[in-house]
Amino acid sequence: MNELTLKDIQQAAERIRTHAHYTPVLRCESINQLAGNDLFCKGEHLQKVGAFKFRGAFNAVSQLSREQLDQGLITVSSGNHAQALALAGQLFRSKVYIIMPETASHIKKEAVKSYGATIYSCGNVQHQREKALIDFQIKTGAYYIHSFDHPHIIEGQGTVALELLNQVADLDVLVAPVGGGGLLAGIALCAKSMSPGIQVYGAEPLGADDAARSLASGERQPQLDPQTIADGLQTGLGELNWSIIKQSVDRIVTVREDEILHATRFVWERMKQLVEPSGAVALAAVFSDEFRALHQGQRVGLVFSGGNVNSDFFQNQNQS
Amino acid sequence: MNELTLKDIQQAAERIRTHAHYTPVLRCESINQLAGNDLFCKGEHLQKVGAFKFRGAFNAVSQLSREQLDQGLITVSSGNHAQALALAGQLFRSKVYIIMPETASHIKKEAVKSYGATIYSCGNVQHQREKALIDFQIKTGAYYIHSFDHPHIIEGQGTVALELLNQVADLDVLVAPVGGGGLLAGIALCAKSMSPGIQVYGAEPLGADDAARSLASGERQPQLDPQTIADGLQTGLGELNWSIIKQSVDRIVTVREDEILHATRFVWERMKQLVEPSGAVALAAVFSDEFRALHQGQRVGLVFSGGNVNSDFFQNQNQS
């Protein structure tokens, strides 16, 4: 019933066209040399709110009726989806409630508030978040927008590939980070429809490798105790996302923490682009031995998925 | 005798064309809102070696004879000119010697070495640097390339404005940071020739304000004990640079350290561009009360001059 197609993604692109940025493709000689491939980096850290998440959130909110919008919107997120929904809600004059763990950083809370959203605090554990969601949804009557496990979110994130494949011809491989799987599912669906010969890979931290284990076993595996600096990729795969990923994704490349940090720093130092560690995981995968053994001298597309670096980063800098 | 003209800058642009990046103009809605003007930011942090300095260094080196190149090249710099000359020398197969204070950061030394240059250490004080230069120049016989006080350097840096004025029509004001004055002199010369009605401003840290004092008094003033996080702007004005600046620059806007930090962080957080504090001083000036009292709703060009952030930045991040 949820048979998403390229046409859905093209319609999403039409919906978001006047509000989302058509982000640039970034190139860098020294990164190409190190990678041994020709890289085309889709700069989603330059998207509105600093991450691709705005595409899916806007696409989802734009399809609600005025009645639904007037009920308000609610989600659970300590990350980029929170900001994305807050901005999308503001644009449609809908009240937005964000449930965030108490431990979420001050800077992220401030960003969400700057878009006029209301924050509710919850505990850090999964069941506490779920309980808070139910409680506040009953209290507010707001419409729940899941951060990744929804067709409208997947369609919206898929527009990243729609743009990239229009910007760059003849890509051999396309690599995107995978957490909940909205971006990877949307991209795989789009790329395999537009360019059947293309390989689509997910890039995942070894410390949060449920997608790799799922693809290896053929069954969706739980994300147990994720441990990674790539905080945007700690989520487990969504059900709908997994149903698309298992059909359309060719491989998941896992990367160690030191590989993630190295790739992040490389982008900062050489490309002067402030990507967050989660946003550099696809590059870390492209730098990996596993990837380089499979591809040499090829045209590789990858997604810099976000640029919202932790506040510590700025605090440290301020003290120096 | 050193009567530089627009034609010299155009010829420099032709020389550097195949080696320097034609850098993009960056735009950002939230920065425009805060500034109350329409800003066009020339992204020289995306230039080769991460700073505009490559333009001048390449332009100077490309005009040397094979005999001069074979003698080698020498300069004194702990900053971006060191990397720029090292790369320019490498491209022309000339041995490069860089005299650097012992206290220069490890990351900057490594960057210079990565282009094949040889580093000589010297003390931190002006007369120690000058003595080291004379000693090593005698020892090596290398040709001295000053980091700012030379017509070929000024011509090269002026190409920043040549590009920007071709990329953006009808600028009302153009703002560039000023340290030794190579960039500001080149830009002022170029902009006033191409667009006589344009205003050209220098942006300078209050803690290193020799240019502001010079323009106020009509005489070149010394830079005494500079104190600023904008380490690229601690140098005093060069003689040739001053002779151009006093004729062509309309105003020097000075900014406090907190204003420099605020502008730097703003570029990181909102534009996701890794500019160094020196590179954000022009934006700090545009954000200042002094500037906003003069200009509202106008088209303002400014230069993000460099992106080589101190190594502490990366070390802090690595520990988190």
Provide φ and ψ at A205, rounded to 5°: -65, 140
Sequence letter at residue B306: G
Residues of B in contact with A313 (CB under 8 A): 316-317, 320
pLDDT band at A309 (very low <50, low <70, confident <90, very high): confident
DSSP string, B165-210: HHHSS--SEEEEE-SSSHHHHHHHHHHHHH-TT-EEEEEEEGGG-H
> End-to-end alpha-carbon separation of chain A, Å?
56
Q: Is the pTM of this model over 0.80?
A: yes
Residue B312: predicted pLDDT: 58
Collapsing DSSP to helix, strand or coil, A312 comes out as helix
How far is C-alpha A104 from the chain's CA centre?
Answer: 18
Residue B102: predicted pLDDT: 87
Please tell me the distance from the alpha carbon of residue B241 to that of residue B187, in angstroms, as a whole number: 11
Rounded alpha-carbon distances, angstroms, from residue B118 to A46, B83, B94, B228, B295 = 38, 11, 12, 28, 47
Please tell me the distance from the alpha carbon of residue A98 to that of residue A83, in angstroms, as a whole number: 9
Please tell me the distance from the alpha carbon of residue B73 to that of residue B117, in angstroms, as a whole number: 10
Residue B320: predicted pLDDT: 38
Residue A318: predicted pLDDT: 43
Please tell me the distance from the alpha carbon of residue A305 to that of residue A77, in angstroms, as a whole number: 17
**CATH architecture for the domain at B54-144:** 3-Layer(aba) Sandwich (3.40)
How far is C-alpha B196 from the chain's CA centre?
Answer: 23
Q: Looking at the predicted structure, is the pLDDT value of residue B301 above 70?
A: yes
pLDDT band at A2 (very low <50, low <70, confident <90, very high): low
Residues of B in contact with A265 (CB under 8 A): 314, 317-318
pLDDT tens-digit readout, A163-211: 999 999 999 999 999 999 999 999 999 999 999 999 999 999 999 999 9
Domain ranges (residues) in chain B: 6-51+150-311, 54-144
Please tell me the distance from the alpha carbon of residue A41 to that of residue A303, in angstroms, as a whole number: 6
Q: CA gyration radius for chain A? A: 18
Sequence letter at residue A36: G
pLDDT band at A88 (very low <50, low <70, confident <90, very high): very high
Neighbours of A251 (CB within 10 A): 17
Rounded alpha-carbon distances, angstroms, from residue A52 to B26, B58, B137, B220 = 19, 38, 54, 51
Nearest residue to A203 via CA among A102, A275, A268, A126: A275
Average pLDDT over residues A133-153: 94
Query: Quick one: closest CA in B to A311, which residue?
Result: B269
The answer for A 209-268 residues in CB contact with B (under 8 A) is 229, 261, 264-265, 268
Q: Looking at the predicted structure, is the pLDDT value of residue B114 above 50?
A: yes
Q: What is the CATH number of domain B6-51+150-311?
A: 3.40.50.1100
Are B229 and B256 spatial neighbours (Cβ–Cβ below 8 Å)? no
Are B122 and B106 spatial neighbours (Cβ–Cβ below 8 Å)? no
pLDDT band at A313 (very low <50, low <70, confident <90, very high): low
pLDDT tens-digit readout, A200-259: 999 999 999 999 999 999 999 999 899 999 999 999 999 999 999 999 999 999 999 999
pLDDT tens-digit readout, B116-164: 999 999 988 888 888 999 999 999 999 999 999 999 999 999 999 999 9
pLDDT tens-digit readout, B26-59: 999 989 999 999 999 999 999 999 999 999 999 9
Residue A196: predicted pLDDT: 93
Q: Looking at the predicted structure, is the pLDDT value of residue A317 above 50?
A: no
**CATH architecture for the domain at A6-51+151-313:** 3-Layer(aba) Sandwich (3.40)
pLDDT tens-digit readout, A91-110: 999 999 999 988 887 878 88
Please tell me the distance from the alpha carbon of residue A176 to that of residue A188, in angstroms, as a whole number: 9
Residue B108: predicted pLDDT: 83
Residue A272 falls in the annotated catalytic set: no
Residues of B in contact with A317 (CB under 8 A): 264-265, 313, 316
Neighbours of A233 (CB within 10 A): 29
Q: Looking at the predicted structure, is the pLDDT value of residue B265 above 60?
A: yes
pLDDT tens-digit readout, B166-222: 999 999 999 999 999 999 999 999 999 999 999 999 999 999 999 999 999 999 999
Residue B20: predicted pLDDT: 97
Q: Looking at the predicted structure, is the pLDDT value of residue B260 above 60?
A: yes
Q: Looking at the predicted structure, is the pLDDT value of residue B1 above 50?
A: no
CB-nearest to A272 from B50, B313, B316 is B50
Are A303 and A285 spatial neighbours (Cβ–Cβ below 8 Å)? no
How much is the ipTM here? 0.90
Are A217 and A276 spatial neighbours (Cβ–Cβ below 8 Å)? no
H or E element in which residue B264 lies:
helix B257-266
